[in-house]
Structure 1
Amino acid sequence: MTTPATPSLTQRYIAATTRSLPPGAQDDVRAELEASIADAVETRTEQGEDPAEAERAVLTELGDPAALAAGYTDQPLQLIGPRHFLAWWRLLKLLLMIVPACVVGGVALGQALAGASFGDIIGEAIPLGISVILHLCFWVTFVFAVLERTGAEATSTWDVDQLPEAPTDGTSRSELVASLVFLVLSAAALFWDRFRGFVWTDGEKLAVLHPDLWPWGVAALLGLIALEAALALAVYVRGRWTAALATLNSALALLFVGWALSLLARQELVNPALVDVITRESDLAPGALRTLAIVTAFAIVAVSIWDIVDGWRKTRRDAR
C-alpha cells in the first residue's frame, strides 16, 4: 500500500490562498503563485541558501494567505475603511452627543413625574443610557460595515464649499458685552420682581420669587451673578478659556443648581401668593403644581449642565 506524499509548504500555502477565491480565479492564481514562488526559491538557492530554508523564507515574505487572497479579490480586511471612516465617526459622535442625553433626561423626567424615588430614577435612567450608547455604537458601525462590503457610497464627494467657518475663541469684546448685559439684566430683574412685581392680579402686582428670599437668599444669588461677571472678565483678559476658568465655571453652575433646587424642594423659591392665584384661577388638577416644579427643576439642571459642558468644550478648543 502506497503512503500519500505529504504536501510541501508551497502546496499548502497555495491551497490556503486559493480556497477562498471564486472558482473561476483559482486556477489562474494557483499557476501564478507556483511560478512566482518557484522563481523566488530558485533565486535564493542560486545564492547558496538551503532549498528548504529558501522556500520557508519566500513564503514568509508573501505573508498571510488570507491577506494575499483578499488582495486578489479586492476584499477589505478592515471593518470600516478610509472611504467611510470619517462619515462613520462624525455621525457616531453627533448621535452620542444627542441621543443618550435625551433618553436619560426623558426617562428621568418621566420617572420623577410618576413619583419614583431618586434611587429608582437613577436605576432606570443610567442603565438605559448605557444600553443606548452600546446600541448606537453597534448599529451605526454595522450599517457602515455593510456599506463597506457592498461598495455603496455613504457621502457625496467633498469640495471646498464644505469647509467649516473659522471658529471664534469666545473671548471677543462682543462676547464679553453680551455676557455682562445678560447678567446686569438678571440682577435688575431680581430688584424689579421685589419692588414692582412681574404678575398682575386683581389690580395688584405679585412677585415671582418668595418674599423670604430677601435679603440673604437673593444676596447669595447676586453674589453668584457677580462671580459670573468676574469670570467673563477673566476669560476676556486671559484671551482664552483655561482648565482653571472652566473649573470655576462648573463650580458656579453647581452652586446655582444647589441654591435653586434646595429652595424649590422646600417650596421656598416661588411666591406662595402667586401659587395660590395660579391654582385658584387656572383650575389646575391635583398634582399639576408638582409636575410644574419637576419640569422646572429639570430645566434648571439641563441649563446648568449645558453651561458646564460648554465651558469645557471651549477650554478644549482653545487648548488646541
Structure 2
Amino acid sequence: MKTLNLIEVYIYEVTKRLPVKSRDDIALELRSTIEDMLPENYSEVDVKDALTKLGNPAVLAASYHDKPIYLIGPNLYDNYILTMKRVIPWAILISIFIHIFENIVFFSGKEAILSVAINTIGILIGNVINVLIQVFFWITIVFAVVERVGISNPDLPHNKKCKKWTPEDLKNAEIIPKKKAISKADVVFSFIWTAIWAIAYFNADHLVGIYRSMDGNGNGLQFVMPIFNQDTLLSYWPIVLIFIVLELALIVYKWNAAQWTMKLVIVNAIIHVLSVIAFIVIASNPHLLNDAIIPHTAELLETTSSTVANSLDWIWRLIVATFVVTTLFEIFDSYRKARIR
C-alpha cells in the first residue's frame, strides 16, 4: 500500500464513523494533523509511526463526537453500532416472516386476502417497533455491562489476547465511495420485494384479483375473482422457484460485497436478464388471464369484450416493456457504479 493511500485509508476509517455533515471538515483537520507530525521527506515508516500515535481509528472517531458517550465508551462504541446495524435488519425480517407465515397457515378463507393484508400491515408496524425496542434495549444492556465490568480495559486478560491495532490493519481496509456502496436498506428492500412477489405468485388466485366493497361503503372488501389462471401460473413453478433461490443468493452476495464490483454486475445482469426472459415467456401465454375476467370487466364498464381485451393487451404490453426498461436501467446503473474508482 502506498504511503499516501495509507493516510487516506486511515482518514476514511475515522470519518466513516462520523456524521456526514462533519466528515469533510474533520478529514481536512486530520490530514493537516498527520502532515504536521511527519518530517519533510517522510517514508512509510514515518507515516506508520504517526498513525500509531494517533491510535485506533474507531477510538479517535469517538473523540470527535459532539457529546460524550457515557453509557458505551469509545473502545466499545464502534462495535456497539456495528452490532446494531447487523442485528436489527435480520431481527425485523425474521419478525415479518414469522407473522406472515402465521397468517398464511391460519388463514380461514372467509375474509378477503386484501383485507387480511391491510390488517396485517398494521400489526407488522407494531411488531417492528416492538422488535426495535427489544433489540436496542438488550444490546445496549449487554454492552453497558461489558463496559462496566471492565472488559474494554486493555489491562484485562481478555484484551491481552486481542491483537492491538497497528497501521498494518489498514492494509485490509478499503475505501468505498458512497455512490459505489450498496446500502443495507437496498438489500433489505430487495429481500422484502422478492418475498412479496413470491407470495403473490403462489397465491395469485386468492390475492391478485377484483375486489368489491362488502357493504357498499368501503367497509371491508370481498374477493370477486382472480385476474390470473392459477393453473397456468403454477405450470411454471420450477422456473419461478429457481429464480427465487437465485434472487436470495444475489441478495446475500450484495450484503457481503457491500459495493458494486464488475463480478457482481455480471452475476446481477445474468440473473435479471434471465428473469426478464422468463417473465416474457409467462406473460406471452394466451391462457394466463382468467377467462371470466374480460366479460366481467366489460359488464362493469358497460362496453364490449373486444374493447376490454384490446385494452388489457396494451396494458400488459406496457407492463412488460416497463419491466424490461427498468431492468436494463438497473443493470446499466450497477455497471456505472462498479466503474467508480
- Report TM bin, short chain: 0.3 to 0.5
